[in-house]
Amino acid sequence: MPEIKTQEFSAASAQAMQNPQLQRALDRVGSGFDVARLNAIEEVTPEVWDQWRQEARDIKVHTIEHLDYYLDLLHTNVTAAGGQLHFAKDADQANEIVAHIARTRSVKVATKSKSMVSEELGLNPVLEAMGVDVYETDLGEYIIQLAEETPSHLVAPALHKSKEDVAELFAEKLGIPYDEDIYHMAATARTVLRDKFMEADLGISGANFVVAETGTLVIITNEGNGRLCTSAPRIHIGITGMEKVIPSMQDLATFLRLLPRSATGQRITSYVSMITGPRRSDDEDGPEEFHLILVDNGRSSMLADQALREALYCIRCGACLNICPVYQRVGGHAYGWVYPGPIGAVVSPMLVGLPKAKELPQASSLCGACREVCPIKIDIPRMLLDLRKKTAESPDDSQRSAPQSERIIAKLYARLMSSPGLLRSAIRFGRILQSLGKFAPFSPLTKDGNWIRKAPLPLLSKWTRSRDLPTLPKQTFHELWEQGISDGPRDE
C-alpha cells in the first residue's frame, strides 16, 4: 500500500493553508464543480433529483444487505462471458494476482486508466519492481505520475496543480520547451501516450460499477484513454472494491444519471464503456483475456459495522469534497492517504485502522453540507460522530484523538456547566479578568471590549489564532431570567 500519513493531518493541513497557490486552486475548482452540480439539478428539477437520489440509495441499501448473493451472481456471469473473477482479501493479495498475470504472460508495458483502488493498493511500484513499464493515461493521473505525487481529489487528481506547474513539469520530465498553453500540453500528453497504448500488453482499469446480472464492468470517463486501455492490449484487468457491484442494467441507469451530474455537472460523461468478458471469436478487436479483481482490503469490517456500513454506498463522485469547508481549505494531500474529504475521513480510518487515522474524523465542522449534496444521501456527519465516539471511548490512551489536557478541560467544562453555583462564580471571576484585561499594556480585547483577540490558555489561544472570541455577555441568560421573574409576567 502507498505510504500512510493519516496521522499527520494537523501539521499537513496547517502547511496547506499557508500555500497560496493551493488555496487559489481549491477556490477555483471546488466552487466551479459545485456550481455546475447545482445547475444540473436545477435543469432536472430538485424534486426529480431527490427522487433519483432515493432510488439510488434504495438500490445501494438492498445490494449491500445482499452482497454475498450479488457477488455470487457476478462470479457466475463474468465466468459465463469468458472472463475470470478473482477475490483479493487485501492489498498484497490483489497486487500478487496482477503480478502473477503479468509475470506468466511476459508483460513488458502496462497502460492504466484512472483507478482509485489501484492507488489504494499501491499497485504501480509492485509492477515497476518486476520490470514492467506502467503508464497512467488519464491526463490528471499522468501529471501526478510524472510529479511522483498522489491524487488530491477523487475526480480531479491533479487539482492542486496550476497550468504553470504542469508546464514546468512537462519541460523537466519530457524534455520539451516550457509552454503553458493548456491545449498544447494536452496534445503533448496525447502524443506521448498514444504510442504506449500501441505498445502495451496489459491494460488496467478501475470500475465505476460492475453489473451482477450480466457480469459487465462499467467505466465512465471524459477522455478516450479508458477505451484504449481496455481494448488495445491483449490482456485487460479491471480492479475495484467489492462494494461496486450493482444488481442490474436498469439500476445502472439510475447511477448514470446521478454520478456525472454530481461530479462535474455533466448530463453524461463523454464515454460510458461497458465491458463484458474478453473479445469473442467474431470480434475485430478487444483483449484476449479479461480479469476482474474484487478487492476487500478492509471493506468486510465496514460491512460488519452497522454504524459505518453506509460508507460502502459511496460512488466516489467527489461532491462532498467540493462543498466541504475543511477540504476547501486544506486540499486532498493533508488527509494523508488515497481518499480525501468528508468520505475519506470515514473510509480511511476503516481501511487503514482507526489508531492510524484518529485525527481524520475530527476534520469536520459537522455542518452537514456533505450529507446534503451526496447523491446517495450518505449520512457522513453521523458516521464521523460514531468514529469520534470510538476514539473517545478507546481504553488505550494512545488511540484517543484528544490529548490528555483537552480531556481534562472538557471534564472541567462539563462540571462547570452542570453546576449553576460554580458557573456563576466562574462568570464573576471571568468578568474581573476581563476588566483587568482592558488595562493591560497590550490589551487582548478589541477597542469596543466585545471581543478577545488573543486568549491566554493553550486551548483558547488555538481558537483566537484565526478568529476572535466573544467576551462574556453583560447579562447572562440566568441573570435575565431571574430579572424577568422579579419584573413579573410579561404581557403577550
Q: How far is CA 450 from the centre of its chain?
A: 40
Nearest-angstrom CA–CA distance, 315 and 254: 12
Q: How far is the CB of 150 from ligand SF4 (least distance, A)?
A: 17
| Cβ distance to ligand SF4 smaller for residue 97 or 315 | 315
Instruction: Give me the 444-483 binding string for ligand SF4, x by CB under 6 A, dash otherwise.
Output: ----------------------------------------
| Cβ distance to ligand SF4 smaller for residue 167 or 352 | 352
The yes or no reply on residue 203 touching ligand SF4 (CB under 6 A) is no
The yes or no reply on residue 318 touching ligand SF4 (CB under 6 A) is yes
The yes or no reply on residue 376 touching ligand SF4 (CB under 6 A) is yes
What pairs with residue 204 in β-bridges?
A: 112, 237
Among 126, 211, 320, 360, binds ligand SF4 (CB under 6 A): 320
Among 317, 334, 352, 387, binds ligand SF4 (CB under 6 A): 317
The yes or no reply on residue 314 touching ligand SF4 (CB under 6 A) is yes
Q: How far is the CB of 377 from ligand SF4 (least distance, A)?
A: 8
The yes or no reply on residue 316 touching ligand SF4 (CB under 6 A) is yes
Find the helix packing angle between 163-174 and 139-146, rounded to 10°: 60
Q: How far is the CB of 177 from ligand SF4 (least distance, A)?
A: 39
Q: How far is the CB of 56 from ligand SF4 (least distance, A)?
A: 9
Q: How far is the CB of 313 from ligand SF4 (least distance, A)?
A: 7
Q: How far is the CB of 315 from ligand SF4 (least distance, A)?
A: 5
The yes or no reply on residue 384 touching ligand SF4 (CB under 6 A) is no
Dihedral (Cα; 295, 131, 189, 261), 10-degree rounding: 0
- Tell me, what amino acid is at 52? W
Give the residue from 268, 261, 186 showing the smallest Cα distance to 221: 268
Nearest-angstrom CA–CA distance, 245 and 71: 7
Question: Strands 133-136 and 289-295, how do they pair?
Answer: unpaired
- Whose cell is 493548456? That residue is 182
Instruction: Give me the 42-71 binding string for ligand SF4, x by CB under 6 A, dash otherwise.
Output: ------------------------------
The yes or no reply on residue 143 touching ligand SF4 (CB under 6 A) is no
Q: How far is the CB of 361 from ligand SF4 (least distance, A)?
A: 14
Nearest-angstrom CA–CA distance, 445 and 227: 63
Among 374, 383, 445, 452, binds ligand SF4 (CB under 6 A): 374
Give the residue from 112, 106, 77 showing the smallest Cα distance to 239: 112
Cell of 218: 462499467
Nearest-angstrom CA–CA distance, 212 and 173: 42
Instruction: Give me the 246-265 binding string for ligand SF4, x by CB under 6 A, dash otherwise.
Output: ----------------x---
The yes or no reply on residue 315 touching ligand SF4 (CB under 6 A) is yes
Cell of 442: 497590550
The yes or no reply on residue 210 touching ligand SF4 (CB under 6 A) is no
Among 343, 345, 387, 445, binds ligand SF4 (CB under 6 A): 343
Cell of 256: 448514470
Q: Give, as one character, the DSSP assignment of residue 136.
A: E
Helix, strand or coil, per DSSP, at residue 222: coil
Among 378, 383, 384, 387, binds ligand SF4 (CB under 6 A): 378
Give the residue from 261, 25, 342, 267 showing the smallest Cα distance to 157: 25
The contacts of residue 6 (CB under 8 Å, 6+ apart) are: 335, 336, 337, 348, 349, 352, 356, 357, 359, 360
The yes or no reply on residue 350 touching ligand SF4 (CB under 6 A) is no
Q: How far is the CB of 231 from ligand SF4 (least distance, A)?
A: 28
The yes or no reply on residue 319 touching ligand SF4 (CB under 6 A) is yes
The yes or no reply on residue 363 touching ligand SF4 (CB under 6 A) is no
Q: H-type helices in 123-223, by residue range?
A: 123-129, 139-146, 163-174, 182-199
Nearest-angstrom CA–CA distance, 313 and 241: 11
The yes or no reply on residue 126 touching ligand SF4 (CB under 6 A) is no
Nearest-angstrom CA–CA distance, 166 and 168: 5
Instruction: Give me the 148-187 binding string for ligand SF4, x by CB under 6 A, dash otherwise.
Output: ------x---------------------------------
Q: By CB under 6 A, name the binding residues for ligand SF4.
A: 154, 262, 314-320, 343, 373-376, 378
